[in-house]
Structure 1
Amino acid sequence: MGTPKQISSLQNPLIKQIVLLQEKSRERRKQGLFILEGQRELSLAIKAGYDVKSLLYDPEIISHEEVVNITKDSQKPPEFIEVSEAVYQKMTYRGSTEGVVAIVRSKKHDLKDLALKHGKVLILVAEAPEKPGNIGALLRTADAANLDAVLIANPKGDLYNPNIIRSSVGCLFTNSIGVGTTAEILEFLKDRKINIYCAALSSVSENYTQTDFTESSAIVVGTEAIGLSKEWLNASTKNIIIPMEGEIDSMNVSVSAAILIFEAKRQRSA
């Protein structure tokens, strides 16, 4: 198995690089790397074919044999580095990460590389999502429903924000994800004859329970603050609405998406 490298200095260049990757989206894009914490997240990333470059671990929490076992299915073995407790605490973004922090190569998520199965697909589209917690929740819902893809239109940040990884509980790695402009995603959907159902508060929107989701469908949600752009609303097959019976006229975007997605799933299993 060999003896792993050891780092005990907080001033080590690699530790500084990890902190920078945690904090700066620009650095993640520039280097094509991101930081991953947690054993479950690491296992899911490896299963999804991500390239783990380096794996740092605190031997007081997890043994060298255990980290080797976690990464046994990696395409190629990562560099193993044992770190002191102080270094481990400096690296970690979360309160509890089960002793492991990995440097991982990111993926591009180009639409042209997204392969959809044949048949009646069900896709979630999120336009310009900003809050990492909402993006993570959307990815969890997509995983729970086993959607064919999640498409992010006009993203405001990068998918490898540590808050997205954390809030998605690793579902960033379990979903097929494509990223593009609204125009690119509309073209992608239309080329594949996928119906576009936009969640929108308008007088012409139809109750979501009266909408037929049994054919190939894309459920499109916007931000809670401004909703969907006119580009989506004008291109939609049908605009749909979840009736509100209280004082407010909207819900959290991830809650709305879950209601719509599982209505589509219900119809398809009926």
Structure 2
Amino acid sequence: MKEITSTNNSLVKQLVQLKDKSRERKKSGTFLIEGQREIELAIKGGYALETVLFCAELFPEEQLNNLLLNVELNGHTERSRSTVEYPITVIEISKEIYQKLAHRGTTEGILAVAKTKTHDVKDLVFNNESPLILVAEAPEKPGNIGALLRTADAANVDAVIIANPKTDLYNPNIIRSSVGCVFTTPIAMGTTDEIISFLQSNHINIYCAALQASVDYHTQDFTKPSAIVVGTEATGLSEAWRQHSTQNIIIPMQGEIDSMNVSVAAGILIFEAKRQRNFE
């Protein structure tokens, strides 16, 4: 097992860049995960870990062995707990280094470097004959993206598709705000035109949350293959979505404003679809 104690170490400097810079994540094809739950969800989601870094002062080695055994059982030969052999690079780091690399304020003591995945919409495959999909056009705020992914996970939708993405999916704020759901939810990305073409070729109805030419959301039949499409609070959906919509839908407002947070709106629409499907 390696050990690093200096914050001036070249690997530490590289990992700081990986945490802070989207271009570094894209260039290397890797990203940083913080926290045991998030790492375990990444393993469950089939992400390949390259390196695990832990601070023994905060994260005992016995706990580390249990985590690494989980890695073993998800893609390596099973071994007994008493003979754990690390299938990936494991580095013990000082508390000072951990705090330099950690994104959030709480100190848990465990980090991992993982390989990114491709998220091309053309590669998306559904096991469900009547898929339910959440589409978000041009979401920018990591907190909103994380909340959308948590909503999608809670409803167990078949996929989340992001049109015209503005933010790196492996931004630490998205990982944090999604509570790791970014790893376990099928996610695809593409341009608006690519996604519309994909949905139409797969005979999936398109329901756009929009003010124009819309009907109350609960009047529609979401039991058939359905994509619920939401836009940003500031600009809504682009004209292309409205032109290709099966039906525009609206959540009736009873107060003074005419919009709500995108993740809240998505939750209302998605769970109406789940209600119609009897929460299958």
User: Paired residue for 2:61?
Assistant: 64
Summarize the alignment of residues 251-262 of structure 1 with structure 2, pairs less than 5 Å apart: 251-262=260-271
TM-score, reference length from structure 2: 0.93
Match of residue 73 from structure 1: 70
Asked if residue 32 in structure 1 is aligned to residue 29 in structure 2, the reply is yes
**Match of 2:5, as an amino acid?**
S
1:118 and 1:209 map into 2 onto residues whose CA distance is: 22
Q: Which amino acid letter does the alignment assign opposite residue 45 of structure 2?
A: A
Find 2:45's aligned residue among 48, 56, 59.
48
- Partners of 1:236 and 1:251 in 2: CA distance: 21
Query: How far is 1:109 from its partner?
Result: 0.9
Is the aligned partner of 1:266 residue 2:275? yes
Secondary structure, counterpart of 1:228 in structure 2: coil
Deviation at 1:73, TM superposition (A): 3.4
Q: Which residue of 2 aligns with 1:230?
A: 239
Cross-structure match for 1:131 = 141
1:62 positional shift: 1.2
C-alpha contact (below 8 Å) 1:127/1:182 kept by paired residues? yes
Residues 101-137 of structure 1 deviation map (CA, whole Å, 9 limit, x = unaligned)? 1111100111222211141110000000000000000
Report the equivalent of 2:16: 19
Instruction: Write the letter of the residue equivalent to 2:115.
Output: R
- How far apart, CA to CA, are the structure 1 residues paired with 2:68 and 2:268? 36
Structure 1, unmatched stretches of 5+, are: none
Q: Partner residue of 2:80?
A: none
Following the alignment from structure 1 to structure 2, what is the Cα–Cα distance between the partners of residues 138 and 166?
13
Gaps of 5+ in 2: 77-86
- TM alignment of 1:106-117, pairs within 5 A: 106-117=116-127
Quick check: 1:82 aligned with 2:92?
Answer: yes
Q: CA deviation at 1:65?
A: 2.8
For residue 204 of structure 2, what is the amino acid of its counterpart? Answer: I
User: Counterpart amino acid of 1:6?
Assistant: E
How many residue pairs get aligned? The number is 266
Distance 2:107 2:225 in 1: 39
CA distance in 1: counterparts of 2:152 and 2:128, whole angstroms: 19
Deviations 1:116-159 (A, max 9, x none): 11411100000000000000000000000000000000000210
Deviation at 1:72, TM superposition (A): 1.9
Secondary structure of residue in 2 paired with 1:119: coil
Question: Is 1:245 the equivalent of 2:254?
Answer: yes
**2:9 partner letter:** N
How big is the shift at 1:97?
4.6
